[in-house]
Amino acid sequence: MMRVKTRRNEGDMPGGQGGVPSAASSRRGLHVVPEASTEIVGERASSTGVLLFSAVVFLLAFGLALGAWWAIAGIGVAAISTALVCALLATAAVHIAQQWEKVVVLRFGTFNRVSGPGLFWTFPVIEQNTMRVDTRVRATTFGAEETLTADLVPLDVNAVLFWHVWDAKAACIEVGDFTRAVELAAQTALRDAIGRASVAEVAIRREQLDRELKRVLEEKVAPWGITVLSVEIRDILLPKELQDVMSLEAQAEQRKKARIILMEAEQDICEMMDDMGDTYAKNDAALRLRAMHLLYESVRETGGTVVVPSSFSEGFGDVLGDAAKDVLGKGSGL
């Protein structure tokens, strides 16, 4: 659920390094939006297995080369040197990529292939595995500080972007640092989206803002081999005075709705009373029965006794008699 926070007073600002606030923070007395940062969603694998595998390859190649040289010319400085060179070349030629990794391989400086995951080989000297690209989902937290809305209200907004690399070749060749490029693109898109909306739209229509940011970022990062999974607004920081105004506006809106509901109920009651008045005017027996019912309800609620004149009680009998005649007449079909 979206949180709308107020800005702190200058005396309540947390300090920077060593508890001393920065100059910008002291001047504004505002919550500072953190810098954009990206982290991998998932555990990082240990490199111990890869190191052990490289050591085994090195020892195996060194032993085979040394054994072959010993069988031909015996063991000497040349044999050890040759075996060492062969072991180093073999170690440089064998690589392991994790399940979530793609490795871009260049040959003489030009793109050759994308290898991985698993075991793969390269030709030493003429081929280089330039970059290992993690294809797992990444979470980038970013924000926009002191960004003006369409109605010129400064807002601090924090958001999170979930994305992953699907084309390692494009991510390595089309852009120098694709992680930093995504962070900058997200910050720019957020500022543009806030500038096109009013403060009420930013605070209330958060899902629409999420979809707009996702669409803009998808168009921007698609040529880099990157897919945007989702964008979510986390915090919207409003000035204290603006929060008070919005609270009063919301209270006034609720009072308006309550008055409208009350007026509609009174209108319905008036219409019903008008209809009942017409009925009582045309039927004296119905009016008397209503009077009897009201009298009965009052006696039942108070638990007391009501003394009425004998003439009024005779009227009760006439009304009951007329009602009984009507019921018997309808039952016999007369």
The two beta strands, 101-107 and 110-115, are antiparallel
Q: Residue 101: name the closest of 172, 30, 3 by CA.
A: 172
C-alpha to C-alpha distance for 103 and 218, rounded to whole angstroms: 24
Q: How many residues does the chain have?
A: 334
What tokens appear for 20 in the block? 């001393």
110 has pLDDT over 80? yes
- pTM comes to 0.59
What does the pLDDT average to over 79-96?
Answer: 86
Tell me: the pLDDT tens digits for 113-123?
Answer: 999 888 888 88
C-alpha to C-alpha distance for 39 and 46, rounded to whole angstroms: 17
Which amino acid does the sequence have at 279? T
Tell me: the pLDDT tens digits for 145-183?
Answer: 888 888 888 888 899 999 999 999 999 998 988 999 999
The per-residue pLDDT for 34 is: 54
- If one compares 286 and 160, the residue with the highest pLDDT of the two is 160
The per-residue pLDDT for 231 is: 92
Cα end-to-end distance, the chain, whole Å: 70
The per-residue pLDDT for 46 is: 59
Integer CA distances (angstroms), 105 to 18, 224, 295, in order: 46, 17, 98
C-alpha to C-alpha distance for 137 and 42, rounded to whole angstroms: 8
What domains, with CATH codes, occur in the chain? Answer: 3-8+29-42+136-238 (3.30.479.30), 48-134 (no CATH), 283-334 (no CATH)
Integer CA distances (angstroms), 180 to 183, 314, 325, in order: 5, 97, 93
The two beta strands, 138-148 and 154-165, are antiparallel
The per-residue pLDDT for 15 is: 39
Contact 157, 112 (CB under 8 A): no
Tell me: the pLDDT tens digits for 4-51?
Answer: 443 433 334 333 333 333 333 433 444 445 567 777 665 555 567 778
C-alpha to C-alpha distance for 162 and 164, rounded to whole angstroms: 7
Q: Which secondary structure element, helix H or strand E, spans residue 300, and what is its range?
A: helix 284-302
Q: What percent of the chain is modeled with pLDDT above 90?
A: 20
256 has pLDDT over 50? yes
Q: What is the mean pLDDT of the chain?
A: 76
